[in-house]
């Protein structure tokens, strides 16, 4: 009995946790928008005097999407699909008249056509349209067709209006960006201190890398939302930024593994530490990398002029330092490539004002 009670308590705790997670500002805002859209669509349809006014809310409900771009795309598909649904209905009426058999044939044709073109999300509303047109079993009239077109268009317009001023999540993204850059700079500084021998390699550093991964996930979600709600031609900047940082995070993890394999610290490692500090200082996209390149040259000169290893341990250390140098060069090259692909509009819009050139 105690086992069952424990399992029930655990289930209740899980359910309670999910409920708390769902009570967010974004979810509550979405609930308000959906409720307002449903009510408004039915009221307006009734005021206009449309038949089947209550069904207008279905169009609005299915038209409200997570982002502005998705809402626009959905609206476009629904406009095209209502047109071919009307063509199918009228054609079946001309051939078979208005009866239950005509309705079934129309549904089969519409369903197959919908799945062939891949617009599955439009099917539910269009089937409702067919129900309205065939269920009365009276001859089609221009008024009936116009009623359905107006009803669908009204629902779409309300959905577009409800979703037109969605929050872009840009402020949330900028918070993520700040955390990402601070975490990456902190990781580079810890790497440098380890190379100098002033800090030890601890589990805390591994935790910083995990924290970076979580912040990157949050950043990608917010970058996606911004891109699909802003709709500017340059709005994908943040998504490209996060992709760059994900690449850099993987490189940092590789460096972390290489450092674990080092057995001793010497002058070559100290030069590497200076290089790492320089990278840390230039993490922000707008910061110049001139000092970083100077430090890289110092590391390269130090490694190239080092005496040949005399034992296995020395050979391992020199190999790890070359691996670390190569990985950090990849990181700098990724940033260079990102910057070189930026447009003047992106730099003006997204780089912080104090760093504009």
* Distance of alpha carbon 237 from alpha carbon 330, whole angstroms: 21
pLDDT value at residue 130: 93
Residue 258 in any domain: the answer is yes
Q: What is the phi-psi region of residue 67: left when phi exceeds 0, alpha when psi lies from -120 to 50, beta otherwise?
A: beta
Q: How many Cα atoms sit within 13 Å of 286 on the Cβ side?
A: 14
* Boundary of a domain, candidates 133, 163, 193: 163
Chunked in runs of 10, what are the mean pLDDT values of the chain (357 residues)? 55 70 78 89 93 90 83 90 94 92 94 94 91 83 90 91 81 92 93 89 86 92 88 87 94 92 78 90 80 86 84 88 93 91 87 50
Domain shared by 179 and 263, yes or no: yes
Are 335 and 244 in contact, with CB atoms under 8 Å apart? Answer: yes
DSSP state for residue 258 in the 8-state scheme: H
Domain holding 143, by residue range, is: 24-163
> CATH code at 286?
1.20.120.940
Residue 269 in any domain: the answer is yes
Are 230 and 168 in contact, with CB atoms under 8 Å apart? Answer: yes
Domain shared by 114 and 189, yes or no: no
How many domains does the structure of the chain reveal? 2
Residue whose structure tokens are 């063509």: 87
> What angle do the packed helices 142-163 and 123-135 form, to 10 degrees?
150
Q: Which helix (H) or strand (E) covers residue 191, if one does?
A: helix 170-196
Judge if pTM exceeds 0.85.
no
Structure tokens at 282: 């230039």
pLDDT value at residue 326: 93
């Amino acid at each position: 009995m105690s086992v069952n009670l424990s399992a029930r308590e655990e289930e209740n705790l899980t359910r309670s946790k999910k409920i708390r997670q769902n009570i967010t500002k974004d979810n509550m805002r979405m609930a308000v928008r959906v409720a307002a859209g449903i009510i408004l669509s039915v009221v307006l349809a009734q005021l206009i005097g449309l038949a089947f006014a209550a069904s207008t809310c279905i169009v609005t409900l299915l038209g409200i999407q997570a982002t502005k771009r998705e809402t626009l795309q959905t609206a476009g598909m629904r406009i095209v699909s209502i047109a071919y649904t009307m063509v199918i209905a009228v054609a079946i009426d001309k051939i078979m008249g208005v009866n239950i058999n005509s309705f079934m044939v129309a549904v089969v044709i519409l369903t197959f056509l919908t799945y062939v073109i891949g617009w599955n999300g439009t099917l539910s509303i269009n089937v409702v349209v067919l129900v309205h047109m065939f269920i009365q079993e009276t001859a089609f009239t221009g008024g009936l067709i116009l009623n359905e077109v107006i009803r669908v268009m009204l629902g779409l317009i309300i959905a577009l209006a409800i979703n037109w001023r969605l929050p872009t999540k840009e402020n949330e993204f900028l918070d993520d960006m700040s955390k990402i850059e601070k975490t990456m700079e902190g990781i580079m500084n810890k790497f440098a201190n380890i190379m100098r021998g002033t800090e030890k390699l601890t589990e805390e550093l591994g935790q910083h890398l995990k924290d970076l991964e979580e912040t990157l996930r949050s950043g990608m979600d917010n970058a996606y939302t911004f891109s699909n709600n802003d709709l500017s031609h340059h709005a994908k900047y943040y998504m490209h930024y996060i992709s760059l940082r994900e690449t850099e995070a993987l490189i940092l993890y590789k460096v972390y593994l290489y450092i674990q394999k080092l057995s001793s610290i010497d002058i070559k490692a100290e030069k590497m530490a200076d290089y790492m500090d320089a990278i840390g200082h230039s993490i922000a996209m707008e910061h110049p990398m001139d000092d970083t390149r100077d430090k890289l040259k110092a590391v390269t000169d130090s490694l190239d002029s080092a005496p040949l290893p005399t034992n296995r341990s020395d050979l391992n250390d020199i190999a790890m330092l070359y691996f670390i140098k190569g990985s950090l060069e990849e990181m700098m090259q990724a940033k260079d490539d990102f910057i070189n692909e930026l447009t003047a509009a992106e730099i003006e819009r997204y780089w912080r004002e104090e760093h504009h050139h």
